[in-house]
Structure 1
Amino acid sequence: MLIPTEPIWIERADQLAELCVGWRQQGAIAVDTEFMRTDTFYPIAGLLQIGDGKGCYLIDPLAIADWQPLRELLLDGKVIKVLHSCSEDLEVFQRWLDLVPSPLFDTQIGAAFANLGFGLGYANLVKTLLGIEIPKDETRSDWLQRPLSQSQLKYAALDVAHMLVVYGKLLQILKTSQRLEWVKSDCADLVEQARAPDHFDDAYQKVGFAWKLRPQELAVLRQLCIWRETQARQRDIPRNRLIKEPSLWDIARKKPRDLQQLQQIADIPQRTLRNDGETLLAITKSQLESEPSTWPERLDPPLAQSEGPLLKALKQFVRDKADAELIPAEVLIRKKEYEAIVRSGMKGGDYRLPERLKGWRYTLIGEGLLQVAQDCKL
């Protein structure tokens, strides 16, 4: 089968609208994006690639004004949008078009369930399934420059040229192994997660060594993290350009009362000290004076060594199941989910499963994990 790989440049709204009419008659289209995110919080769309099996279309986000036909295509429930490792692409679409493409099929997830490898890159997937080498020499290109170079155009086209063929081969493998519904479920979860509104209230829990802080200090850290998340978005700058997490942790621990003390905190950018120093001090002061009833509870420390045997038994159970199913263990459970199971039974109650292990994973590993945990408790 001859796969067209020549890039077809689209920079007019009428061209795009006509193409979208045809694409909505297809069962699936290949989709990819190129974007820039060097100095901004949000990704800036530099290029949209769509492959339909007949051509590789490179659509210019900087030239077209009317995106309604594309919006309707990306939300058409009858057209599967095929992407690879799509989490960043979904961010691009949310920022650019205020939508999450659906339904979608992530070929990286499909490849994992097809036992081709966990976290497999697109070029390696194409080589594995089709024996075709794809160059990756434009990964860090400037996708906002115009005109794009011939090398960039070729690279972008190849990112979607083979995707539908790869998709077809993955479907065959997944249907034979009866795992297609698992992949569909995980891909639907990606869409749901991407559509979920942002909540910053628990951002402090992800800060390194936050578990070492007392409740009052955690109250300070929580509010500082909310401020950072909100301001990074409003100003459209990277979080760390505003202030890094270790600096927030140090403010919460040392509780500076004035600018002189704040300046002693390591790694706060001078611009942030100048423009936001008083705000950081005010946030700190307000939380130090807040009611103790509003403070967060202390966070759990890392698991104790005594929990090691249970953790080891849970991991061994999943490895055995994964080996029997010929799939990577990583697609079945995440590291933090092992820890959640262990912690759920540490206060004397029954062990509980994280929400993600209550779907199709329950029959495969969830029920067994609970049994292993209970057996280790006896």
Structure 2
Amino acid sequence: MLIPSEPIWIDQDDQLAELCAVWRKQAAIAVDTEFMRSDTFYPIAGLLQIGDGKGCYLIDPLTISNLAPLRELMLDTAVTKVLHSCSEDLEVFQRWLGVVPAPLFDTQIAAAFAGLGFSLGYSGLVKNLLTIEIPKDETRSDWLQRPLSVAQLKYAALDVAHMLIVYGKLLQLLKTSERLEWVKSDCADLVANARKLEDYSDAYQKVGFAWKLRPQELAILKQLCIWREREARARDLPRNRLIKEPSLWEIARKKIQDIAHLSKVPDIPSRTLKNDAEIILQIVRDALELDESSWPARLEPPLAQSEGPLMKALKNYVREYAEQAQLPPEVLIRKKDYEYLVRSGMQGGAYQLPARLMGWRFTLIGEGLLKVAQTQSQQSETL
């Protein structure tokens, strides 16, 4: 089959509106984005590629002004948007269009459930299913330059040229193995998570070694992290360009309240010291005045060595199931799911599963994991 791969440049509002009307009559379209993010918090859209099986259309975000037809297309529930490893693309759409495409079909997720490998790159997937080589030499290109080079245009077009064929083959494999609904469920979760309102209140929990801090120190760290999250977005600046997490941790641990001590904290950018020192110090002072009742509880430390046998038993169970099902274990369970399960029974109560293991994964591994945990607990009690 001849797959059209010549790039078709779209930089006029009326062109795009006409094409969107056509694409809304299709069951699926291939979608990809190119963007820049080296010096900003938010990705800057440099290009949108759409493949419809007849052509590869390259839409210029720098010149298109009427985005309404594109928004309507991305939200049209009758049109499946086919993307590969789409988490960053969803950020681009949120920033540029203010919407999250849906329904979507992520070919990387689908490839894993089809038994083709976990976290498989797009070029590897195309080579696996179509025995076609796709060059990846323009990955680090400047997608905001104009005009784009011939090599960039060709690269961008190839990213969507084969995607609908790949989509069709993956659908066939997933229907045969009766795993299509699993993929749809995980893709729907991607959309739901991308649409959630941003909440910075628990950002402090992700800071390395935050579990070593006492409650009052955590109260300081919590407020510092909220400030960093808000300011990084407001200034469109990468978080670490503002201040790194180890620096925030050090400020909270030492309860720093003066510029002399703050200036000795490692790795604080000079610009932040110059512009934000007093704000940071005031955040610390305000946090120190908080009532004890508002302090966060201490965070759980890393799992103790004594939990090792249970963790090993749980992983062995999943690995054996995954081998039998010819699935990567990573599509079934995440590291934090194991930890949630182990911690749930550490106080002597019944073991609990995280929400992610309570859907279709429950009958596959969730129920079995609970039994393994309960059996392991009973055995340890008899020793």
In the alignment, what sits opposite 2:95? 95
Deviation (angstroms), 1:254: 1.1
In the alignment, what sits opposite 2:286? 286
Q: Secondary structure at the match of 1:14?
A: helix
Distance in 2 (alpha carbons) for counterparts of 1:342 and 1:264: 40
In the alignment, what sits opposite 1:170? 170
In the alignment, what sits opposite 1:64? 64
Corresponding position: 1:329 with 2:318? no
Corresponding position: 1:25 with 2:40? no
- Partner deviation per Cα, 1:188-246 (whole Å, 9 max, x = no partner): 00000000000011100000000000000000000000000000000100000000000
In the alignment, what sits opposite 1:260? 260
Q: Secondary structure at the match of 1:376?
A: helix
In the alignment, what sits opposite 1:129? 129
Distance in 2 (alpha carbons) for counterparts of 1:133 and 1:158: 10
Q: Which amino acid aligns with 2:226?
A: I
Distance in 2 (alpha carbons) for counterparts of 1:197 and 1:145: 33
Corresponding position: 1:225 with 2:225? yes
Q: Which amino acid aligns with 2:16?
A: L
Deviation (angstroms), 1:68: 0.8
Q: Secondary structure at the match of 2:49?
A: strand
Distance in 2 (alpha carbons) for counterparts of 1:254 and 1:266: 13
Q: Within 5 Å, give how 1:89-238 maps onto structure 2.
A: 89-238=89-238
Deviation (angstroms), 1:334: 0.2
Distance in 1 (alpha carbons) for counterparts of 2:299 and 2:72: 45
In the alignment, what sits opposite 1:274? 274
Q: Which amino acid aligns with 1:95?
A: R
Distance in 2 (alpha carbons) for counterparts of 1:306 and 1:253: 28
In the alignment, what sits opposite 1:48? 48
Distance in 1 (alpha carbons) for counterparts of 2:287 and 2:3: 61
In the alignment, what sits opposite 2:308? 308
Distance in 2 (alpha carbons) for counterparts of 1:311 and 1:367: 16
Distance in 1 (alpha carbons) for counterparts of 2:325 and 2:188: 22
Tell me the TM-score normalised to structure 2 length. Answer: 0.98
Distance in 1 (alpha carbons) for counterparts of 2:78 and 2:287: 51
Deviation (angstroms), 1:257: 1.8
Distance in 2 (alpha carbons) for counterparts of 1:226 and 1:293: 19
- Partner deviation per Cα, 1:342-363 (whole Å, 9 max, x = no partner): 0000011100000010000000
| RMSD, aligned α-carbons | 0.5
- Partner deviation per Cα, 1:79-113 (whole Å, 9 max, x = no partner): 00000000000000000000000000000000000
Distance in 1 (alpha carbons) for counterparts of 2:37 and 2:331: 28
In the alignment, what sits opposite 2:343? 343
Distance in 1 (alpha carbons) for counterparts of 2:190 and 2:353: 20
- Partner deviation per Cα, 1:299-356 (whole Å, 9 max, x = no partner): 1110000000000000011111111111100000001110110000001110000001
Q: Secondary structure at the match of 2:32?
A: strand
Distance in 1 (alpha carbons) for counterparts of 2:350 and 2:331: 25
Q: Within 5 Å, give how 1:71-90 maps onto structure 2.
A: 71-90=71-90
Q: Secondary structure at the match of 1:333?
A: coil
Q: Which amino acid aligns with 2:341?
A: I
Deviation (angstroms), 1:165: 0.3
Gaps of at least 5 residues in structure 1 are none
Distance in 2 (alpha carbons) for counterparts of 1:20 and 1:285: 54
Deviation (angstroms), 1:289: 1.7
Distance in 2 (alpha carbons) for counterparts of 1:128 and 1:139: 20
Deviation (angstroms), 1:279: 0.6
Q: Which amino acid aligns with 2:340?
A: A
Distance in 2 (alpha carbons) for counterparts of 1:256 and 1:184: 49
| Aligned length, in residue pairs | 378
Distance in 2 (alpha carbons) for counterparts of 1:185 and 1:256: 47
Misfit runs of 4+, over 4 Å: none
Deviation (angstroms), 1:18: 0.7
In the alignment, what sits opposite 2:381? none
Distance in 2 (alpha carbons) for counterparts of 1:290 and 1:19: 57
Distance in 2 (alpha carbons) for counterparts of 1:24 and 1:323: 41
Q: Secondary structure at the match of 2:343?
A: helix
Q: Secondary structure at the match of 1:78?
A: coil
Q: Which amino acid aligns with 1:257?
A: Q
Tell me the TM-score normalised to structure 1 length. Answer: 1.00
Distance in 2 (alpha carbons) for counterparts of 1:48 and 1:257: 48
Q: Secondary structure at the match of 2:191?
A: helix
Q: Secondary structure at the match of 1:105?
A: strand
Distance in 2 (alpha carbons) for counterparts of 1:264 and 1:39: 26
